[in-house]
Amino acid sequence: MITIKEIAKLADVSPTTVSNVLHGRTKKVSPDTLDRVRKVLGENNYVSNMGAEMLGHKRSRIIALILAYNNSDRKNIITDPFVASIVNSVETAVQQNGFFLMLYSNPNIDECLKMAKAWMVDGIILLGAKRQGYYRLRNNLSTPIVSIDTYFAVNDTNYVNVGLDDYGGEKAMVNYLINEGHTKIGFLSLMQFERINENGVMYVDLSRLEGYKDALKEAGLPISADWYESLKFNQTVRRKQWHRWRKNDFYGCTAICFGSDLMALEAMMYFEDHGYKIPDDLTITGFDGIFEGDIHKPRLTTVYQDVNERGCRAVTEILKLINDPDSMKDKNRKVNIVMPTRLLLKETVKKISESN
């Protein structure tokens, strides 16, 4: 098999330059040199000896994407459109930068810790973890970690998180519904609303719930305890919840906001199967902007987030940490990147006339 030194000689560059190209460190390599080295690599079918590199440099070139959703969230989690989109964007960005992706789904943080040590992963992107899980890994590994959608307490430090404007996104949606004439609005989400830990940290859907409540309060509109509810993870039980809302005439609500597009679409299909027309009989909105919402008829009005951009940003942040080990020494570092949302106004919202 051809060696790096031989590749360097054929490309008329140094072995260091070849190594930099192989490992994705190309910022200081000119475009012409990069093309020349890659051409020689391709012509000679060069494949890195990863085993030798791991032994020689104690680096695996592996970035682990850990799906740390709890057991009730975990079933078929990889088929969730949001998670699948994150996996796709992270894998693409990781590969483009000369690394390999290890996908690992396990709610047991201690098992995640064992995996990271066994495989000597160069970095971890953590999705679906609570802050306790993040710090369990952080305090037991020297490996760089970037989380996605982990909510931290005000005084927390030593973290990098790629978050989302969950509060602002839901608040904007409710304000839009109010402007369309809706005064009685519900909110349904899979998140158990009572799950607030000892530090007062709110999670993703709790933040969306707060945006919903504040929009109604600021508009001087009432909020009934019947109008917001935690949905059950079991679909059969959830259908009983849809049945109860239907039998109670939606508790007087003319619109229901859902914490995710998947739940909005599931509810729409249930209500449509029972003779309701969306949005004529009930306005429904979602959150995420998944592809499935745009191909359903009627198309779902939702709060859109750029999932691909969030995955790419997480990879950018983990590479910064990998390439600058000294930055890991700053225990007071706190980087919370809040990605924006925007409304996607489609076909599931009915405007209520003033006469109504």
Per-residue pLDDT at 203: 72
Task: Give yes or no: residues 233 and 314 share one domain.
Answer: no
Q: Please tell me the distance from the alpha carbon of residue 321 to that of residue 318, in angstroms, as a whole number.
A: 5
The parent domain of residue 13 ranges over 4-48
Per-residue pLDDT at 195: 46
Residue 253 buriedness (CB in 10 A; 0-12 / 13-18 / 19+): buried
Per-residue pLDDT at 71: 57
pLDDT digits (tens, 9 = 90+) for 303-350: 999 999 999 999 999 999 998 888 878 888 899 999 999 999 999 999
Task: Give yes or no: residues 207 and 76 share one domain.
Answer: no
Q: Please tell me the distance from the alpha carbon of residue 194 to that of residue 325, in angstroms, as a whole number.
A: 39
Task: Give yes or no: residues 69 and 140 share one domain.
Answer: yes
Task: Give yes or no: residues 209 and 181 share one domain.
Answer: yes
Q: How many domains does the chain have?
A: 3
pLDDT digits (tens, 9 = 90+) for 87-122: 999 999 999 988 999 999 999 999 999 999 888 899
Per-residue pLDDT at 255: 98
CA distances, 114 to each of 92, 109, 117, 121 (Å): 26, 9, 5, 11
What CATH number did the domain enclosing 270 receive? 3.40.50.2300
Q: How many CB atoms lie within 10 A of CB 272?
A: 16
Cβ-contact 142, 318 below 8 angstroms = no
Task: Give yes or no: residues 36 and 79 share one domain.
Answer: no
Per-residue pLDDT at 201: 60
CA distances, 20 to each of 23, 34, 141, 166 (Å): 5, 10, 26, 39
Per-residue pLDDT at 324: 87
pTM: 0.80
DSSP β-ladder status, 342-344 and 301-304: antiparallel
Task: Give yes or no: residues 292 and 174 share one domain.
Answer: yes
Task: Give yes or no: residues 253 and 229 share one domain.
Answer: yes
Sorted by sequence, the CB contacts under 8 Å of residue 239 that are 6+ apart come out as: 270
Task: Give yes or no: residues 156 and 213 share one domain.
Answer: no
Task: Give yes or no: residues 174 and 289 share one domain.
Answer: yes
Per-residue pLDDT at 187: 97
Per-residue pLDDT at 354: 56
Residues in the chain where the model's pLDDT stays below 70: 1, 24, 47-59, 71-76, 191-202, 354-356
